[in-house]
Amino acid sequence: METIYSATKPTGKLTLGNYLGAMKNWKEMQKDNSCIFAVADLHSLTIDIDKKTLTDNIYKQFATFLAMGLDHEKSIIYCQSHVKEHAELAWIMNCNTNFGEASRMTQFKDHKAKDKVVSVGLFAYPMLMAGDILLYNATVVPVGVDQMQHIEICRDIATRFNSKYGDTFILPKGVVPKVGAKIMGLVDPTRKMAKSENNENNVIYIEDDDQTIRRKFKRAVTDSLARIKYCDEQPGVSNLLVIYSRINGISIAEAEKHFEGKNYNDLKSEVAECVIKEIGPVRDKMNELLKDKKYLEELMRIGAERASVIARKTLRKVYKRVGLVGIY
Ligand code: TYM
C-alpha cells in the first residue's frame, strides 16, 4: 500500500486537463492506498488573485473533490492553509534549497518572462510544494507532466536533507497517466489546457454546462488531412484522441481503430459526449454541495484535524533534526 499525496491550486476554475492529468488517477488510487488530497490555497497566493475569486475557488475545488468520488472518510481531504505546518516546513525547505536550483524551475521562469510583477512567494513555490509532499511521508504523487520538475526538486531537497541531518524524509515518486499526462488546448493544441487561459474556448472547465462543452468541442481545431491519427502533424486531432482514450480507459491505437472510417464531426461530437458523461455528474454534484457551505467547512475542519496529526509529527522530527529546541 502506498501513501498518495496530491493537490490542486485554486488559482482558477478546475479544467478537464486537471481532471484527466491528475484527479482521475486520484480516484483510481484511492481504492487500495492511503490517500491525502489538498486544496493548495497557499500556493494560490503566489500570484495576484482577487480575494473573492480565491474564496470561491477554494469551496469549488473542495466540493469537486467530493463530487468526483473522493471519500472523505477513507482519504484525508483538506485545505493547505488549515494546517499551519505547511508554512513552517516550507521555511525549512527554503533554507535547504540553493538559489540556483530554484531559479531553474520552468514554471517560475515562464512567469518571470511574462508577468509584470513576480513575487518572492512564486520563487518559493516549489519549496512549499516539496514540504506538502514530505510532511505526509508520501511515496507516490499523481500529477500531470508539468509538475514532474517540482517533484524532482522535492526529491533533491529531501536527499540533501537526509544526508545532512540523517534519514528523515521518504523520497516520493511522481506518477503521470500513460495517456493524458498533458491535455492541450482545444483551439490552440500547441499550448497546455490551463486554468490561467484567457481564451475560454481553449479550455473545458469542470463546471461547464453540457451545451458549452458541445459548443467548445465543435470549435476545436483539427486540420485538413481528413484522417484520425495520433501524430505530430495533427496536434488537434491527437489531443481529441487522447481525451477519448483517457476517459474510456483504452489505448490510443484502440481509439484510432474506433474512429476508423469516421469524420472530424464524428470525432468531435463523440469526444464531447464522453466528456459530458464523465464530468457532467461531477459538475452537478459540485453545484449541489456548494449550496451548503457549512457542511463543506465541517468536512474541511475534519480533514485538517486528521492531516495535522501527521504533519505535526513530521515537523517535530524535522525541527529536532536541524537542532531547534523542542519544549513540548
Ligand atoms: P494545478 O492546480 O496547477 O494542477 C493540478 C494538477 O493538474 C495537472 N494538470 C494537467 N495535467 C494534464 N494536462 C493538463 N493540461 C494539466 N493542467 C494541469 C497538474 O500537473 C497537477 O497535477 N503545484 C500543483 C499543486 C500542488 C501539488 C502539491 C501537487 C501543490 N502542492 C503537492 C502535488 C503535490 C499544481 O500546479 O496544481
Contact 112, 67 (CB under 8 A): no
pLDDT one-digit tens code per residue, 69-127: 999 999 999 999 999 999 999 999 999 999 999 999 999 999 889 888 899 999 999 99
pLDDT tens for 252-276 read: 999 999 999 999 999 999 999 999 9
Task: Tell me how far apart the alpha carbons of residues 239 and 284 are, in angstroms, rounded to a whole number.
Answer: 26
Query: Count of alpha carbons within 13 Å of 19, Cβ hemisphere only?
Result: 25
Best residue for ligand 1 mutational test, from 13, 18, 150 (most atoms within 8 Å of Cβ): 18
Cβ 197 under 6 angstroms from ligand 1: no
Q: What is the pLDDT of residue 114?
A: 87
The verdict on the CB of residue 126 being under 6 Å from ligand 1 is: no
Phi, psi of 112 (to 5 degrees): -60, -35
Q: What confidence category does residue 326 fall into, taking pLDDT thresholds of 50, 70 and 90? A: confident
- Going from the Cα of 267 to the center of ligand 1, the distance in angstroms, rounded, reads 27
Question: 23 CA distance to ligand 1 centroid (A)?
Answer: 9
pLDDT at residue 328 tops 80: no
3-state secondary structure 216-234: HHHCCCCCCCCCCCCCCCC
Q: For residue 192, which atom of ligand 1 is closest to its CA? A: 15
291 Cα to the center of ligand 1, angstroms = 26
- Nearest residue to 153 (alpha-carbon basis) of 121, 130, 128: 130
Residue 319, classed as helix, strand or coil, is: helix
CB contact set of 141 (below 8 Å; sequence gap of 6+):
4, 5, 6, 133, 147, 151, 172, 173, 174, 175
The atom of ligand 1 lying closest to the CA of 193 is: 15
Of ligand 1's listed atoms, the one at least distance from the Cα of 43 is 30
Q: Does residue 81 line the site of ligand 1, with CB under 6 A?
A: no
CA-CA distances (angstroms) from residue 132 to 30, 113, 172? 18, 27, 11
